[in-house]
Amino acid sequence: MPRYKLTIEYDGSRYHGWQFQRESPTIMGALMTAIRDVYGDVPFELYGAGRTDAGVHALGQVAHLDIDSKLPAAHALHDLNQALPRSIAILAMEPTHSRFHARHDAVSRSYVYHIALRKSAFGRNHTWWVKNRLNLETMAETAMLLEGMHDFKSFGRTEQKGGSTLVQLQRLRIYELGDSVVIHVLGSHFLWRMVRRLVGTLVEVGRGGLTPKQVEGFLLHESDIPTQLIAPPSGLYLEHVYYPSDPIEDEPTFLMNL
């Protein structure tokens, strides 16, 4: 059966995450509805690179679609985007080999988190407005301590009970752009809610409520403090999913759009 690689962006504000749910609107559910509208009763299978939570957005989510149809990919891309709600767009649809798997073949995932330092009339569903003055230098110092291979059990949990909580955090960087702070997180994979807990912990450091040494201690001894500091989903974006042949960008492309 032909397989296609889809690159998707979406505003997750109105959705209960990526994964299909019968009783709630999800990104995957909206895509499945559009596929049926375009292809009719042709059987298909759809797999995503990762499950974003309710309210989380994506600039470059990846999925693969198995469907036996002679409809050219360019035509299908146009028709699917016509069938999808405005909050979801397929950026690219390209044939790929039958062994490609959107989730299992991914080698790194890049997230960005957008913090607003001022109230915005348009940002409620797309940023986290932090009203406190933040010490960005101390946040950056803490971020460097978190990079590398560590046990992040204080910051998240695995989907399967007893799974490994070791994660290679390849990059954790902080950028200040005017009234915005962008936190870029690049890793081999992430535990459930790990990125939001990392962001919330860094913000607490910036507020002066935690020290870098305390945060470093969360890697050595399990703590429930990061679970209490979880950042809201509104500011989180899955920016890019990387595969073996992809060059990894030094900076997130998200910065260019601010």
- For the chain (258 residues), the mean pLDDT of every run of 10, in chain order, is 96 96 96 97 96 96 96 96 98 96 96 95 92 96 97 87 88 94 95 96 98 96 95 97 91 73
Of the residues 44, 63, 96, the one at which a domain ends: 96
Do both 73 and 188 map to the same domain? no
Amino acid identity of 22?
Answer: R
Cβ–Cβ < 8 Å for 102, 241: yes
Among 208, 241, 209, 202, residue whose Cα is nearest residue 47: 241
Residue 20 inside a domain? The answer is: yes
Q: Helices in 40-116 by DSSP H: which ranges? A: 73-83
Please identify which of the residues 11, 53, 79, 179 carries the catalytic annotation.
Answer: 53
Which pLDDT score, from 0 to 100, does residue 1 have?
A: 87
Do both 113 and 239 map to the same domain? yes
User: How far apart (Å, rounded) are the C-alpha atoms in residues 46 and 6?
Assistant: 10
Amino acid identity of 242?
Answer: Y
Do both 124 and 197 map to the same domain? yes
53 is catalytic: yes
Structural domain count of the chain: 2
What's the CATH number where 127 sits?
A: 3.30.70.660
Q: What are the residues facing 186 on neighbouring strands?
A: 110, 171
Is pTM beyond 0.85? Reply is: yes
| Residue 33: exposure state from Cβ atoms within 10 A (0-12, 13-18, ≥19) | middle
Do both 41 and 129 map to the same domain? no
- Quick one: tokens of 169? 């955090």
